[in-house]
Structure 1
Amino acid sequence: MMPRIALALAAVSLALSSPAAMAQSEKSGVERLYVLNCGEGTAGDISRWTPGLNEGKTMDFVDSCYLIKHAKGWFLWDTGIADAVAAMPNGLVPADPKAVTWKRPKTLAAQLEQLGLKPDDVKAMAVSHTHPDHTGNVELFPQAMLYVQKAEYDWPGANNEPRFKPSHPVELLTGDKDVFGDGSVTILSTPGHTPGHQSLLVKLPKTGAVVLSGDAVHFKDNWDNRRVPGMNVNKDQTAASMQKIADTLGKEKGQLWINHDKAQRDSQKLAPEFYD
């Protein structure tokens, strides 16, 4: 009798240690990552982002949002230019002609609907920072828990206005945050562009690790040359945050997805296609 029990236990042990079972136990909680079109525009003068270079040169920008399907629910990273801009024939024209004139070819709401989702389905969200090309649709999700660095939340807005509605549920962070507790989605504190800027590390089962830059860097040439835009609030913090991202990419053997880089975005699969 005993040998049979021993054999049965050995069989169970072998099954649990098989490559398929081990892969299942190690599987990331992230199931899919969607890249959403959250704005397209043209910068009037990119020397704002490359001090001392490119004076008077224009550049096309994009604005991406990212929707993550995790075993525990839907998580949205950044919300892009306000959906209302889609109805503006000339786009959102900035007061500063050197800045970006934004257009909204597709609304965020329509892209969610295409995936069979309603805004209420998004249970948690975070924004890289509080500039309007990243927070334009935060209040489309009034029920979603918003993760934001305390330094960003406390940073006075125009006319000292709060940066979010006081009624919006929020968790204030003072550093990195493992969103789901399984290491698959980690908010990285990367200040410099703004006082509480943050980036996002996502670990996908097949694609591997991806860091979503926010505006820690605006386009690949700036990343390659570690250039700091003139409008950033802190140059030293920006440089340190770029190094933190580089260290993370090295450790995780990851890719950097740069939010505003059009050439990179044009090479990516856009929703309803996805990365897994």
Structure 2
Amino acid sequence: MNKVVGLAALAAVLWSVNGAQAQTAERLYILNCGEGVAGDISRWSPGVNEGKSMDFVDNCYLIKHKQDWFLWDTGIPDAVAAMPNGLAPADPKAVTWKRPKTLAAQLDAIGVKPADIKAMAVSHTHPDHIGNVEMFPQAMLYVQKAEYEWPGADNKPRFNPAHPVTQLEGDRDVFGDGSVTILATPGHTPGHQSLLVKLPNTGALVLSGDAVHFKSNWDNRGVPALNVSKEQTLASMQRIADTLTKDKAQLWINHDKAQRDGLKLAPEFYD
């Protein structure tokens, strides 16, 4: 009996080791996909910070998986880099965006060509997240069906219909090994999604998309007035909080400049 118990314990240890090795997300790069200034951040936290301006950033994330390169969000269009005054919003309370570095140049500095990226996903279809999707016309795009079918301006499609797409109805383990998992977090938009990444040394990270915009927004559970559903937004925030606890994960808030300034940017990386 003791021998059987010993073999079972050894098997459990081997399974644990092999399971850790099987998670083959190897590196994660943070790319500067835009910097801007918000005119009035109460737009994202109604009733709080009325009239207060704030610097915003816009991050994209490139993940090297054993199988492939995977891109999360594509940021402000690279063309904005040529605009000296940036891209001004129609709503003065929103963000005026600039592009200090192009996405193409940052990929080149890492030694990655657009054609090397075989799969990608966007958190949602607001312009500061989909600005360079068609830089990667061959990459499989993972997007929630509810987001894909959400009518754009003048009822136009939000994506090029010719772009290869996998329409999701919930979560997706992208590589089948638990290292990169798309989490359905609707509310900001009908098919908003976040990303859970598990790295060998850094551990687990949740990339927020726009489920939350900055730390005080997260701490106060502030729901932007323009979100499509307050109830879904709050439920998605709770889901993220539960994921942080379950996976002992860090929350990386996409637009939070104070947090981003304390992180390593490409060509440095997390592993």
**Bin of the TM-score, shorter chain as denominator length:** over 0.9
Matches within 5 A, 1:60-79: 60-79=55-74
Task: Give 1:118's match in structure 2, choosing from 108, 113, 123.
Answer: 113
Structure 2 residue aligned with 1:221:
216
1:95 Cα deviation (Å)?
Answer: 1.2
Task: Give 1:254's match in structure 2, choosing from 242, 245, 249.
Answer: 249
1:17 Cα deviation (Å)?
Answer: 7.0
Find the aligned partners of 2:123 and 2:102 in 1 and give their Cα distance.
19
Find the aligned partners of 2:13 and 2:173 in 1 and give their Cα distance.
27
CA displacement 1:163-193 (0-9 Å, x = unmatched): 0000000000000000000011000000000
Find the aligned partners of 1:173 and 1:211 in 2 and give their Cα distance.
19
- Rg bigger for which structure? 1
Structure 1 residue aligned with 2:36:
41
Matches within 5 A, 1:223-238: 223-238=218-233
2:13 aligned with 1:23? no
**Partner letter of residue 214 of structure 1?**
G
2:75 aligned with 1:80? yes
Aligned length: 262
Matches within 5 A, 1:192-203: 192-203=187-198
Structure 2 residue aligned with 1:59:
54
1:19 Cα deviation (Å)?
Answer: 7.6
Find the aligned partners of 1:62 and 1:20 in 2 and give their Cα distance.
43
Listed as ranges, the gaps of 5+ residues in structure 1 are 1-12
Matches within 5 A, 1:97-112: 97-112=92-107
Change in Cα spacing, 1:20 to 1:263, as seen in structure 2 (3 Å) is farther
Matches within 5 A, 1:263-274: 263-274=258-269
2:157 aligned with 1:130? no
1:54 Cα deviation (Å)?
Answer: 1.3
Task: Give the CA RMSD over aligned residues.
Answer: 1.6
Structure 2 residue aligned with 1:186:
181
**Partner letter of residue 23 of structure 1?**
V
Structure 2 residue aligned with 1:6:
none
Find the aligned partners of 1:21 and 1:261 in 2 and give their Cα distance.
38
The alignment partner of 2:89 has SS state of coil
2:136 aligned with 1:141? yes
Which ranges of 4 or more aligned residues in structure 1 deviate by more than 3 Å? 16-25
**Partner letter of residue 239 of structure 1?**
L
Change in Cα spacing, 1:200 to 1:18, as seen in structure 2 (3 Å) is closer
CA displacement 1:140-184 (0-9 Å, x = unmatched): 000000000000000000000100000000000000000000011
Matches within 5 A, 1:200-215: 200-215=195-210
**Partner letter of residue 111 of structure 1?**
Q
The alignment partner of 1:95 has SS state of coil
1:55 Cα deviation (Å)?
Answer: 1.4
Find the aligned partners of 2:159 and 2:258 in 1 and give their Cα distance.
32
1:25 Cα deviation (Å)?
Answer: 5.0
Find the aligned partners of 1:189 and 1:154 in 2 and give their Cα distance.
15
Structure 2 residue aligned with 1:3:
none
Listed as ranges, the gaps of 5+ residues in structure 2 are 1-6
1:20 Cα deviation (Å)?
Answer: 9.4
The alignment partner of 1:102 has SS state of strand
Q: What is the TM-score when the length of structure 2 is the normalising length?
A: 0.94
